């Protein structure tokens, strides 16, 4: 299952706070709210998280995802929506903020420890016409983000009512449960036909 809505691009002044907000929500795999709820607490999925790309020239997407069993599809959807909604309303704890920010800043530094990655980053700046000190300014931007900034951008840029839900699975086996999602997230099945050399079962 996958949720998607429009995101931002690198010209958005809130991009640093958005990245750290997403670290708390789902990018910080083992410590994130989505990971804690859906994987650790409910045991519904091992692969679960969120992506909020902010470093592209063009507008990108916000994506939340989880891979779960057919019988737990609807529960995973409901739990994901609940976590996303609560991200907009529940304050960031001191531990959440400090852990997520520290992990993000460390990962940012270690992206460029290998010569090939450093060269690739410099080539990317040159290709996009960005100043050579862009990476240093980005690090400073992330370092300046506060917990209040994260709470503010969560309210502004997480828009559950605009999410498009995409589910790949055996729809007939959770169609009845899907009714619990209501009309706001009504599931419309698409039949992609029988795969080449298939056994006659359609993919939905």
Using DSSP, state whether 43 is helix, strand or coil.
coil
pLDDT per residue, tens digit, the chain (204 aa), is 888 898 999 999 999 999 999 999 999 777 899 999 999 999 999 899 999 999 999 999 999 999 999 999 999 999 999 999 999 999 999 999 999 999 999 988 888 889 999 999 999 999 999 999 999 999 999 999 999 999 999 999 999 888 988 888 888 898 888 888 876 666 677 776 655 554 444 333
Q: What's the token pair of residue 91?
A: 């304050």
pTM of the model: 0.87
Distance CA 76, CA 41 (A): 12
User: Taking the CB of residue 17, how many other CB atoms lie within 10 A of it?
Assistant: 26
Distance CA 140, CA 142 (A): 5
Sheet architecture: strand order including 61-68: 45-52, 61-68, 2-6, 164-166
């Amino acid at each position: 299952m996958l949720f998607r809505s429009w995101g931002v691009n690198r010209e958005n002044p809130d991009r640093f706070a958005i990245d750290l907000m997403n670290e708390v929500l789902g990018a910080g795999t083992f410590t994130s709210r989505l990971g804690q709820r859906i994987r650790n607490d409910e045991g519904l999925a091992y692969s679960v998280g969120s992506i909020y790309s902010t470093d592209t020239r063009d507008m990108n997407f916000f994506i939340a995802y989880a891979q779960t069993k057919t019988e737990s599809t609807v529960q995973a959807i409901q739990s994901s929506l609940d976590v996303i909604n609560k991200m907009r309303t529940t304050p960031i704890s001191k531990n959440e903020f400090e852990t997520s920010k520290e992990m993000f800043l460390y990962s940012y530094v270690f992206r460029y420890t290998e010569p090939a990655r450093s060269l690739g980053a410099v080539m990317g700046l040159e290709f996009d016409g960005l100043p050579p000190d862009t990476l240093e300014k980005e690090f400073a931007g992330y370092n300046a983000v506060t917990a209040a900034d994260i709470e503010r951008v969560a309210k502004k840029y997480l828009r559950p009512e605009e999410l498009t839900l995409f589910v790949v699975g055996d729809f007939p086996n959770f169609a009845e449960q899907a009714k619990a999602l209501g009309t706001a997230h009504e599931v419309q099945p698409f039949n992609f036909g029988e795969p080449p050399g298939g056994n006659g079962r359609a993919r939905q």
